[in-house]
């Protein structure tokens, strides 16, 4: 079943999508846009990885809810600081950063549409 391998599938596809977006935006876009895609993608991929680890530990009985809340708050704080710094220093394009931060959403949407297609064609 897809649910057993879903986190691992999403993780490698997130990194693949980030790589493709950086390469193609590098060909067609200014460097600030490319850097925004790269930084946004790295931030969101690391967030996804650590969220998965935290939830797996919690659901596996190795964590407590206070620890989950603390870890999530720390993760959001670090992400917010990184995003604030790169925007304040004007190192990246806002559009590129937004695209990079959207990688997980894009990946989940594409995966869901693929599964919907399988279900529709099966019936």
Span 75-112, pLDDT tens digits: 999 999 999 999 999 999 999 999 999 999 999 999 99
Cβ atoms of residues 92 and 32 within 8 Å: yes
pTM of the model: 0.87
Q: How many residues does the chain have?
A: 123
Question: What distance in Å separates the CA atoms of residue 56 and residue 53, rounded to the nearest whole number?
Answer: 5
User: What pLDDT is recorded for position 62?
Assistant: 74
89 to each of 10, 53, 84, 85, 115, how far by Cα in Å? 31, 32, 8, 6, 41
Average pLDDT, the chain: 90
Task: Say what percent of the chain tops pLDDT 70.
Answer: 95
Question: What distance in Å separates the CA atoms of residue 123 and residue 118, rounded to the nearest whole number?
Answer: 9
User: What pLDDT is recorded for position 1?
Assistant: 45
Average pLDDT over residues 57-84: 85
């Amino acid at each position: 079943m897809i649910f057993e391998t879903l986190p691992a599938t999403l993780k490698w596809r997130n990194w693949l999508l980030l790589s493709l977006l950086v390469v193609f935006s590098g060909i067609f876009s200014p460097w600030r846009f490319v850097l925004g895609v790269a930084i946004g993608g790295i931030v969101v991929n690391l967030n996804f990885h650590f969220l998965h680890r935290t939830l797996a530990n919690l659901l596996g009985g190795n964590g407590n809810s206070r620890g989950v809340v603390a870890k999530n708050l720390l993760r959001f704080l670090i992400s917010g600081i990184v995003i604030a710094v790169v925007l304040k220093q004007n190192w990246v394009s806002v559009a590129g950063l937004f695209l990079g931060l959207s990688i997980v959403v894009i990946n989940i949407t594409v995966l869901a549409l693929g599964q919907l297609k399988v279900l529709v064609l099966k019936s």
